């Protein structure tokens, strides 16, 4: 946290603890979910999913917390997350980065306004532009003609786009890419901040970045205003668990929270909240050690695959440098099959 003194106990997991208390109390609500702690669910469904799924599926308010959320369960979990990853605010979301990204975009720009967007954006960003009625100013990624893949656009590309479109309300960059190449976020943030505009980072593939120094810089550390992460991609949360992170004075936290509320469900899954909350605690406690081991394993896998005739594992030398990416995350192992006469689809 940049401005507030750290005083939260990272060994706590408010969502998990509230869930445990709910079970201990033996309450059975006259409210949704209709399966009533698995009792009403189909036996075959229970057999295959396991009752734990139903036991964790309770109302967020009027179940996990009381009807007026006086326990501040979610708020406390979000505060712990913000502190753990050096953000000022964190908001849990249960519709993936697909929804968090839209909330961020709608906070930065209003319908008919311009937003600079790296052209290698995910489909959820493109659908966000359509649904929010924003006018994209496309920023060309760093295209690798040899490997036929795109790395995040450079800071200079954002600079040029802002010069041509000074009325753009802010910028969005996807970093890291699913290939593991990452942008120079600090330089792009500087381009934005010189104009008093915020930078949004689609960091769906970067939830692990805050927890190890040998990974590319994390958007909050690099000075971005908002970043969006999927906890189910590079973290161990459940599918659809996502977190919006915010810092700095360019975006009002109430605005971001209200856009997330506008787009989000009124029945958020407590299972997803629990997955996010527990993962944050795991990473604070063991993230460095787990990621050190993961980096070693990825290194080993890379070396062994590289030995196989016809296969080449792309590394920082392939992806980084002038006209290419600024940073590299070695955990996604991208294998180049160019020397073989078969496609990636056939190989998979």
Ligand X SMILES: Cc1ncc(COP(=O)(O)O)c(C=O)c1O
Q: Which residues bind ligand X (CB under 6 A)?
A: 96-98, 101, 122, 124, 174, 178, 202, 204-205, 230, 242
Q: Which is nearer to ligand X, 205 or 218 (CB)?
A: 205
Q: How far is the CB of 244 from ligand X (least distance, A)?
A: 12
Per the omega criterion (within 30 degrees of 0), is the bond before 33 cis? yes
Q: Which is nearer to ligand X, 46 or 122 (CB)?
A: 122
DSSP lists the bridge partners of residue 149 as: 144
Q: How far is the CB of 273 from ligand X (least distance, A)?
A: 15
Phi, psi of 32, rounded to the nearest 5 degrees: -60, 165
Residue 50's CB: how many other CB atoms inside 10 A?
11
User: Torsion over CA of 151, 154, 160 and 161, rounded to 10 degrees?
Assistant: 50
Q: How many residues does the chain have?
A: 348
Q: How far is the CB of 188 from ligand X (least distance, A)?
A: 16
The residue nearest ligand X at its CB is 96
Phi, psi of 149, rounded to the nearest 5 degrees: -145, 160
User: Torsion over CA of 244, 205, 284 and 89, rounded to 10 degrees?
Assistant: -10
Q: How far is the CB of 75 from ligand X (least distance, A)?
A: 22
Q: Which is nearer to ligand X, 76 or 232 (CB)?
A: 232
Q: How far is the CB of 173 from ligand X (least distance, A)?
A: 10
Q: Which is nearer to ligand X, 204 or 227 (CB)?
A: 204
Q: How far is the CB of 122 from ligand X (least distance, A)?
A: 3
Residue 285's CB: how many other CB atoms inside 10 A?
12
Q: Which is nearer to ligand X, 38 or 276 (CB)?
A: 276
Per the omega criterion (within 30 degrees of 0), is the bond before 176 cis? yes
DSSP one-letter string for 55-109: HT---TBTTTB-TT-TT-HHHHHHHHHHHHTT-SEEEEESSHHHHHHHHHHHHH-
Q: Which is nearer to ligand X, 95 or 284 (CB)?
A: 95
């Amino acid at each position: 946290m940049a401005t507030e003194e750290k005083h939260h106990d990272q060994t706590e997991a408010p969502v998990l603890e509230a869930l445990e208390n709910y079970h201990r109390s033996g309450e059975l609500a006259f409210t949704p979910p209709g399966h009533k702690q698995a009792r009403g669910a189909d036996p075959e469904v229970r057999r295959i999913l396991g009752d734990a799924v139903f036991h964790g599926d309770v109302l967020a308010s009027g179940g996990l917390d009381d009807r007026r959320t006086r326990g501040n369960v979610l708020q406390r979990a979000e505060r712990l997350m913000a502190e753990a990853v050096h953000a000022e605010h964190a908001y849990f979301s249960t519709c993936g980065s697909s929804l968090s990204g839209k909330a961020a975009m709608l906070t930065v720009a209003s319908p008919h306004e311009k937003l600079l967007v790296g052209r290698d954006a995910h489909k959820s960003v493109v659908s966000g532009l359509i649904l929010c009625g924003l006018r994209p100013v496309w920023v060309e990624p760093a295209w690798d003609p040899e490997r036929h893949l795109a790395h995040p656009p450079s800071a200079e590309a954002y600079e040029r786009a802002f010069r041509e479109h000074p009325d753009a309300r802010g910028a969005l960059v996807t970093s890291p890419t699913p290939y593991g190449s990452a942008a120079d976020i600090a330089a792009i943030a500087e381009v934005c901040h010189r104009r008093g505009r915020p930078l949004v980072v689609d960091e769906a593939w970067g939830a692990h970045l805050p927890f190890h120094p040998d990974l590319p810089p994390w958007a909050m550390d690099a000075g971005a205003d908002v970043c969006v992460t999927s906890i189910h991609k590079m973290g161990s949360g459940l599918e659809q668990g996502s977190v919006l992170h915010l810092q700095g004075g360019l975006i009002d936290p109430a605005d971001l929270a209200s856009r997330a509320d506008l787009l989000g469900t009124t029945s958020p899954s407590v299972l997803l909240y629990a997955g996010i909350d527990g993962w944050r605690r795991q990473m604070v406690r063991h993230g460095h050690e787990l990621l050190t081991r993961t980096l070693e394993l990825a290194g080993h896998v890379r070396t062994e695959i590289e030995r196989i005739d016809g296969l080449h594992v792309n590394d920082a030398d392939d992806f980084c440098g002038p006209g290419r990416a600024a940073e590299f995350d070695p955990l996604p192992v991208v294998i180049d099959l160019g020397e073989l006469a078969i496609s990636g689809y056939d190989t998979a």
